[in-house]
Amino acid sequence: MSAHAVEPKITLFDIPSICKPQAWSGNTWKARYILNYKRIPYKTVWIPYPDIEKTLVNLGGEGKATSKRADDPTKPLYTLPAILDETGTEAVLIVDSVNIAEYLDQKYPERPVMPNVGKALEFAVEALFTSTVWPLAVMPLLPFADQIQDERSQPYFRESRERVFKKKIEEFSPEGPIRDSQWKALQEGLDKFAAVLDKNGPNIYFVRGGINPTFADFLLAARIRWIKTIAPEEWRKRGVEQWSNGRWGKLLKSLEPWESPAE
């Protein structure tokens, strides 16, 4: 940032990594895509996993936990993405990508990502993908996510996941037939999901079938991008870009204009 540049009044809180650029999370990429698409200036503050709850609570996020911790359901789970909007007289903290999308559409209505007409479709796509496809990605991908955590985050990431699944992270997806079967199941899940989207017609890669992406497209791209970022060798080895007749690679290509800044 130059000496004369005005610092953005919106902050995106993201999770650091050892990747270059750092952005990797399938959750926070949803918010990053949306900010980039809507051309809203922002800065990124990187928050390691162990510091997320403290940071959000200190910013007024008490009670804004998105769920309960899987490894200890008695405790709230504070997650990212979150944004802090300091454009007004009082700072506003928004947590969770859906809430962020709706808030930004209300405050910055140009280039909407949650169209009022048929908004339920955005929620339906998220619910369907999260319940049917995403569980298939957990075991084969978490070991790779563990490897790209920074020094502060990795112990928390590893220990919390091992408590949930009650085994070492190296046992989630051992190389060989088990890993191959996991990736095959993930491919089949994505193929089934793609078959629904294919009802829009050939060479149409956005959920609503138009020329402009919406929240659902950013959701899907963020998840696919997560795979590509944390497991690039597996991505190439298994030809993920060509799965589902190339739909997922073409979706990422379609959204390239809104990948930057990825920092």
Calpha distance 240→212 (Å, rounded):
24
pLDDT for 128: 96
- Give the span between the Cα atoms of 212 and 256, in whole angstroms: 13
Q: What is the pLDDT of residue 3?
A: 52
Residue by residue, pLDDT tens for the chain (263 residues) are: 545 567 889 999 999 999 999 999 999 999 999 999 999 999 999 999 999 999 999 999 887 888 888 777 888 889 999 999 999 999 999 999 999 999 999 999 999 999 989 999 999 999 999 999 999 999 999 999 999 999 999 999 999 999 999 999 999 999 999 999 999 999 999 999 999 999 999 999 999 999 999 999 999 999 999 999 999 999 999 999 999 999 999 999 999 999 987 67
Predicted TM-score (pTM) of the model is 0.94
Specify the pLDDT at position 67: 80
pLDDT at 93: 97
Task: Give all domains of the chain, ordered by start, each with its CATH number.
Answer: 10-107 (3.40.30.10), 119-258 (1.20.1050.10)
- Residue from 149, 158, 161 nearest 69 by CA: 161
List CB contacts of 30: < 8 A, sequence separation 6 or more: 81, 97, 100, 101, 215, 218, 219, 222
Give the tokens for residue 83. Answer: 């944004």
* Total Cβ atoms within 10 A of residue 132: 13
